[in-house]
Structure 1
């Protein structure tokens, strides 16, 4: 467990982030711990999360659905300005 002061944290956030990849970093204010900096992987293990947001958005296991193609030209309103037409 690494402990740094809030002043040291503010002066070199990158160093604190590098240290947090290895172990949680406790940030102190006037000698008392106020915050903990840790990697996302450590946090996920701590809360028991096994899936990432990308895994959840992928929605594995859903059946594939064949959707009909969308006719974008047919969906155009007739009064829509067409920049391709000549004046």
Structure 2
């Protein structure tokens, strides 16, 4: 695993290089010489987080195929109106 450090300015100017470096290990992005952010590959992120993804995160993905989502109906949350 290779650890890379870039300044915020370098990151802004060379984002594609940062993404390539993240494939080999974490990329620390510094602000005024102090680590402020870390760029990880999705595989490293999932390994660190246990691979769990929230529904909102899953639905927000743009580069993955659609998937079926059929939630159960919530019939117990209301009752029919009594019009008598």
TM-score range, shorter chain: 0.5 to 0.7
Question: How many residues of Structure 1 are paired with residues of Structure 2 in the alignment?
Answer: 56
What residue is the counterpart of 1:84 in the other structure? none
Partner of 2:4: 2
* Structure 1 alignment gaps of length 5 or more: 60-87
Question: Cα gap change, 1:2/1:47 in structure 2, threshold over 3 Å: closer, same or farther?
Answer: same
1:48 counterpart residue number: 50
Runs of 4+ in 1 over 2 A off after TM superposition: none
CA RMSD between the two structures: 2.0
Q: Which string of whole-angstrom CA distances, capped at 9 and with x for unpartnered residues, describes residues 4-39 of structure 1? A: 100000001000000001100000010000000010
